[in-house]
Amino acid sequence: MQNQQKTVEPLAKFHASVNIKGQLVVPVKDREVFGLKRGDILEIIVRSFDVINGKIHIKKRAYILVRLSSKGLITIPEEVRRELGISPGDTVEVLLVGFHKFDELVTEKGKQIAKLIQANTHMRLITSEEEKTIIEKSRTYYV
């Protein structure tokens, strides 16, 4: 019997251009297949590469967790872009190796907080009485 190696495949693999903010778009078909929505956390491997004689040669790679934003955008952190030598306009290879649905990860309280942060309503001036109430409520979480 021949010793057959098992091929390990990512959930999806695609190539995308990186914009000036370090963002790229996860293809709509990949988002549809896996039911990915805004706020979901993606586990990806990003590869920088060169094309030599028509073949891709991987230069460097990084494993990162990213949050899917509107229109399928994800952001490659600046540190990763620097380490991989990725500049605006570069094309990278992306392997989707896992994902976590936001709704399954976060409690109802967490969802409320996320909505406040997204709506930029996470800051407001308060009275001394409101301060007291907030402190009392917080004690139920941390004590």
Contact between 88 and 18 under an 8 Å Cβ cutoff? The reply is yes
Return the number of other C-beta atoms located less than 10 Å from residue 16's C-beta. 19
Grade residue 103 by pLDDT with cuts at 50, 70 and 90.
confident
CA distance 50 to 105: 37
Q: Would you say the pTM of this structure is higher than 0.75?
A: no
Mark whether 121 and 74 lie in a shared domain: no
State mean pLDDT over 114-138.
70
Mark whether 49 and 32 lie in a shared domain: yes
Grade residue 112 by pLDDT with cuts at 50, 70 and 90.
confident
The answer as to whether 2 is a domain residue is no
For residue 35, the model assigns a pLDDT of: 95
For residue 3, the model assigns a pLDDT of: 62
The answer as to whether 114 is a domain residue is yes
Instruction: For tokens 């967790």, name the residue.
Output: 65
Asked if pLDDT for residue 1 goes beyond 60, the answer is no
Mark whether 99 and 129 lie in a shared domain: no
Q: Which amino acid is at 10?
A: P
For residue 143, the model assigns a pLDDT of: 46
Mark whether 101 and 140 lie in a shared domain: no
CA distance 14 to 96: 9
The answer as to whether 67 is a domain residue is yes
Q: Which amino acid is at 19?
A: N
Mark whether 97 and 47 lie in a shared domain: yes
Domain with 135, as residue range(s), is 106-143
Asked if pLDDT for residue 90 goes beyond 90, the answer is yes
Mark whether 73 and 130 lie in a shared domain: no
